[in-house]
Amino acid sequence: MIWLKRLFAGLLVLVLLIAAALAVYAYKAFPTIDGELQAAGLQGPVALQRDKADVTHIKAQTPHDAWFSLGYVHAQERGWQLEFNRRVMHGELSEAFGPATLETDKLLRTLGVVRAAERQWQNLPAEGRDAMQAYSDGINAFYAGSSQALSPEFHILGVKPGGPSGKAWSPTDSLAWSLMMALDLGGNWGTEFARLYAARTLKTAELWQLFPPYPGEQPASGVDFSRLYADLGIYRANTPVATKKVAASQGSTWAGGTFYAQSPLAAATTAAAGDINEWAAALGQADGKGSNNWVVAGSHSRTGKPLLANDPHLGLSAPAIWYFAHLQANGLDVIGATLPGLPFVVLGHTRKVAWSFTNTAPDVQDLYLEQINPANPRQYRVPGGSPNAEAWADFQTREETIKVKGQPDLVLTVRESRHGPVLSDVQKSHADLLDTGKYVIALRWSALDLDNQTVLAGLRANRAQSTDEMIAAFAAYHSPMQNLVTADVTGRMAFKAAGKVPLRKPDNDIRGIAPSPGWDARYDWAGWVPYAQTPQTGQGEIEAKGWLSTANQRITPPGFPLFMGQDWTVPYRYDRIEQLLAATPQHDVASMQRIQGDQLSAATVKLLPFLQKALSQPGGHPLADAARKATAGFDGTMRADQAAPLIFAAWADEITRGIIGARLGEPALAVLYGKRHFRSTMEDILERNDAAWCGAAGCAAQSTAALARALDRLQAAYGADVGSWSWGRAHPALSAHKPFGNVPLLARAFDVRVPTGGDTFTVNVGQYWATSDATPFANRQAASLRAVYDLSDLENSRFIYQTGQSGLVFSGRYRDMRDDWAAMQYRPLQMNPSAWAHQLTLRP
């Protein structure tokens, strides 16, 4: 007994020592936000003040010191976020995660994002270089001189900022991060590939039913794609069946054709890679990547001055993508949302003008089929001297060395054609579909071009003092094209589509809708749409109507002479915003916030009669009566506390799988469905009662069967008491941590969750990906921030986002905005707050 007591006492002491050590570590990991610190590289003292809304105010004597200090603060608060993003764009994830992230690294190395940034740096004017350099110096100065402990992610994964190089950030990393935002928002190669994939099974007329043109438009291309690709013989004889990934938590990993047993820590690291790889697999797909913005003229506001609202819809993450700050220096005074990785306010206001974005989503990516020379596989076909002449050129190649944790380095040979990188070398879905001995797919993407100087627009916008100056600032903007809506304190307003869009030749009959023969010169781009000719709306037109809104709908007016694309977002959100703006004669900040919170889904309203008909059938599922009662009076408002939205969403998912899956086959459904919702397709099929898609029994039978499957599924997940079901429980806003959101034990601490309403089509967006994982209805893409700017008094402006300013998981500021965000509450966004919560001085 004495020895047992001693053993117990020893274990207790050990536990207490570990707890004490963890407490000391946690204390040292918190940033210093009061007092004084020194930072080598500053030109003078800088005040870093945090107000009660937790906005960081950076007051410097020079712009250099303001940019430097923003970099310092980003490193303080979001160090892991910077390191993770750096590894993603450099294709260096596998150095930390092992072979689980190799495919993602290979894709990013092939795209050459960092290489493009390095080339663009050579052409960047001094004003851009100075800002990027100062910001980078601030990040590196923090790591060189701070005693703050690294956040837990570094220790769990055993990595350091900057990796082996020890350089946490470089000026070109900021350019590369701008390119990564263009990659996330400005991509449509996935849609082009989806058409190529479906054309193997469907006739071209059916292809346009699966991917319908924008409402009111005819198909942008008259090419018979099914025949074109069949005649070229591009497809593999036997396309491999798409299969589910082996769960990483099973404790093994695949490398070089062999499964290796893993330690628990290694298994957790592999599991953490899951979300990263899913993100990479969805690149080039713009479905749901949108936003809302609108401006109300002074004639329609209670104050007599404009009101501007903005809520960008981006993938939710913890920490959030944004960090709110105020930059003040000589010639610089701007407040709003910054992106860790960039030295300027991306969305916000100066002393006299506010600005907002939504994604325009023009077609700035084209896929090309490159024909391989059968006599020399190192060559591909290029335009010849005459239409039928064959000419060949060598692929440009380079070798990329990827370090892999626990394994030898991998040497990747990257091929490029005259159009760009060969994606099919690193995209499994491409290689599975194509006969790559005869054809490969190359990508032409505008953002990689040497003339991309998007960061200059951001820097110049931060100094603008009027709508005219704001429009002029964005003349330098390149990628991704954005719908810029701006207003100033004098009452002026404007809309401009800012960014580069390629011109396509008159005889280009494919028009970038699907992959084109790369050896035919008529499919090459023919320059750019001039900035003066991109869509725009001026003061007079906005005043005449009383407002202007955008929500990723088609922004080219009727008769617009230039083709910019056809894959716009269906206008459900836009139409609803227009309806709500028209319903109130005089708006104020509160009415702007109510519109941002609206949860009526017009897309649900359109399909709801088909669900109601299925529910009205006698007999059927044991839960049908309870489901009928739960949906009684349901008007399409996707409220978090109701069961009806959940029943509808499950039925809509099941009927989509039942109809489109049966027509295309499960392998194709696995490739094409999930983040792509096919809602417009289903609306058309059901309204036509199309037997070619629904089968001989008709669409009503499909709907009834889908309802039964949906109720079975919901009963298994939530029990037989339909009254206890709720949309919010199934549809939490999931701000997943990168990378620990995929590791159950760690996700409980690192993820940020809150029940929400809405769906993909509501103004208050709550996009879910109807995949077959454990959370098919989780809200993964929503308002990444909400802001309302009052141009009668910019100090009356408001903001909120879904997590918190801190990136440190055990900080009270890590998730302190979550509940307010879900409840449509806001924080003040003020340049001159009444009091400071924290004050720090940064000295040279």
Inform me whether the pLDDT recorded for 793 exceeds 80: yes
Task: Determine which of 502-506, 608-612, 769-773 has the lowest per-residue pLDDT on average.
Answer: 769-773
Q: Residues 46-77, buried b or exposed e (16+ Cβ, 10 A)?
A: bebbbbebbbbbbbbebbbbbbbbbbbbbbbb
The pLDDT value given to residue 387? 66
Pick the residue with more confidence: 342 or 9? 342
Average pLDDT over residues 570-583: 98
Task: Decide: helix, strand or coil at residue 838.
Answer: strand
Inform me whether the pLDDT recorded for 129 exceeds 90: yes
Amino acid at 777: F
Pick the residue with more confidence: 458 or 672? 458
Contact (CB, 8 A) for 731 and 714: no
Task: Dump pLDDT digits (tens) for 209-249.
Answer: 999 999 999 999 999 999 999 999 999 997 654 444 333 33
What is the rounded CA–CA span in Å between residue 32 and residue 80?
17
Give the closest residue to 220 by CA, choosing from 483, 500, 513: 513
What is the rounded CA–CA span in Å between residue 680 and residue 646?
20
Give the closest residue to 177 by CA, choosing from 248, 253, 120, 224: 120
Q: Residues 172-208, buried b or exposed e (16+ Cβ, 10 A)?
A: bbbbbbbbbbbbbbbbbbbbbbbbbbbbbbbebebbb
Inform me whether the pLDDT recorded for 267 exceeds 70: no
HSE value, Cβ hemisphere, 13 Å, CA-based, for 219: 19
Give the closest residue to 674 by CA, choosing from 658, 657, 659, 693: 657
**What backbone phi and psi angles, to 5 degrees, belong to 262?**
-125, 150
> What's the angle, vertex CA 779, arms to CA 778 and CA 783, rounded to 5?
170
The 8-class DSSP code of residue 657 comes to: I
Identify each DSSP E strand in 33-182 by its residue range: 35-38, 46-51, 56-59
The pLDDT value given to residue 135? 98
Task: Determine which of 204-213, 523-532, 741-750 has the lowest per-residue pLDDT on average.
Answer: 741-750
R_g of the chain, CA atoms, integer Å:
27
Inform me whether the pLDDT recorded for 290 exceeds 90: no
Contacts with 62 (C-beta within 8 Å, 6 or more apart), sequence order: 43, 44, 329, 330
The pLDDT value given to residue 6? 72
Average pLDDT over residues 240-267: 42
What is the rounded CA–CA span in Å between residue 748 and residue 739?
13
Confidence of residue 256 (pLDDT cuts 50, 70, 90): very low
Neighbours of 220 (CB within 10 A): 19
Task: Dump pLDDT digits (tens) for 397-440.
Answer: 999 999 999 999 999 999 999 999 999 999 999 999 999 999 99
Inform me whether the pLDDT recorded for 262 exceeds 60: no
Tokens linked to 527: 């320059």
Inform me whether the pLDDT recorded for 618 exceeds 50: yes
The pLDDT value given to residue 283? 82
Confidence of residue 187 (pLDDT cuts 50, 70, 90): confident
Percent of the chain with pLDDT over 90: 85
Task: Determine which of 562-566, 770-774, 808-812 has the lowest per-residue pLDDT on average.
Answer: 770-774
The pLDDT value given to residue 286? 67
Task: Dump pLDDT digits (tens) for 32-60.
Answer: 999 999 999 999 999 999 999 999 999 99
Neighbours of 686 (CB within 10 A): 21
HSE value, Cβ hemisphere, 13 Å, CA-based, for 620: 23
CA 225 to chain centre: 30
Confidence of residue 287 (pLDDT cuts 50, 70, 90): low
Average pLDDT over residues 167-192: 94
Task: Decide: helix, strand or coil at residue 334.
Answer: strand
Inform me whether the pLDDT recorded for 556 exceeds 90: yes
**What backbone phi and psi angles, to 5 degrees, belong to 127?**
-60, -35
Task: Dump pLDDT digits (tens) for 133-146.
Answer: 999 999 999 999 99
Task: Dump pLDDT digits (tens) for 347-383.
Answer: 999 999 999 999 999 999 999 999 999 999 999 999 9
Task: Dump pLDDT digits (tens) for 3-31.
Answer: 777 777 677 666 676 777 778 898 899 99
Average pLDDT over residues 170-199: 95
What is the rounded CA–CA span in Å between residue 59 and residue 38?
16
HSE value, Cβ hemisphere, 13 Å, CA-based, for 584: 19
**What backbone phi and psi angles, to 5 degrees, belong to 34?**
-135, 155
Torsion of CA 694, 695, 697, 702, to 10 degrees: -30
Tokens linked to 254: 């695949």
The pLDDT value given to residue 246? 33
Inform me whether the pLDDT recorded for 253 exceeds 70: no
The pLDDT value given to residue 268? 59
Average pLDDT over residues 68-73: 98
Helix axes 572-583, 602-615, angle to 10 degrees: 110
Inform me whether the pLDDT recorded for 261 exceeds 50: no
The pLDDT value given to residue 165? 86
Give the closest residue to 66 by CA, choosing from 261, 403, 396, 343: 343
CA 578 to chain centre: 25
Q: In Å, what is the CA distance from 828 to each residue of 319, 380, 489, 598, 824?
A: 21, 58, 18, 21, 13
What is the rounded CA–CA span in Å between residue 82 and residue 167?
12
What is the rounded CA–CA span in Å between residue 66 and residue 44?
10
Average pLDDT over residues 467-491: 98
**pLDDT, the chain, mean:** 93
Task: Decide: helix, strand or coil at residue 298.
Answer: helix
DSSP string, 723-771: GG--HHHHSEEEEEETTGGGSHHHHHHH-EEEE----TTSSS-EE----
Neighbours of 2 (CB within 10 A): 6
Percent of the chain with pLDDT over 70: 94
Confidence of residue 272 (pLDDT cuts 50, 70, 90): low
Pick the residue with more confidence: 526 or 288? 526
What is the rounded CA–CA span in Å between residue 25 and residue 23?
5
Average pLDDT over residues 562-586: 96
Give the closest residue to 543 by CA, choosing from 292, 298, 294: 298
Average pLDDT over residues 94-120: 96
